[in-house]
Amino acid sequence: MANRLSEENFKILLFGGKGEEEINKEIMEKVKDKKAMIDTGSENTLSEFIALVSLCNVLVTGDTAGMHVAIALKKNVVALFGPTPANEIDLYGKGVKIIPNLDCIYCY
């Protein structure tokens, strides 16, 4: 029997940095099942952030420090790219790159 996702077997960790408290608060308010998502806060040290990412099976992230931490920890990654070239990042067979189809992509 296929493993079905249910609230009993997964949690979503919401990450954010300094200055993202309000957007994370808005996201948390819109979550219907409050038990399914945990706001990890926005004041974590780098060591705390790395420890939190180590708990994840999959990290959905932009081309950020979080993506690089997840890659270093050999986590599965869904990486969203925009102004930086996706071809400069190797996910080492542990993820997928989402790249928009835009004329002005890779503009740093």
One-letter amino acid of 36: A
Answer whether residue 7 shows pLDDT above 60: no
Answer whether residue 97 shows pLDDT above 70: yes
Average of per-residue pLDDT across 18-33: 93
* pLDDT score recorded for residue 3: 53
Which stretches within the chain are classed as H helix? Answer: 21-30, 46-54, 65-72
pLDDT tens, residue by residue, 39-93:
999 999 999 999 999 999 999 999 999 999 999 999 999 999 988 889 899 999 9
* pLDDT score recorded for residue 60: 97
Residue 89 CB-half CA count within 13 A: 28
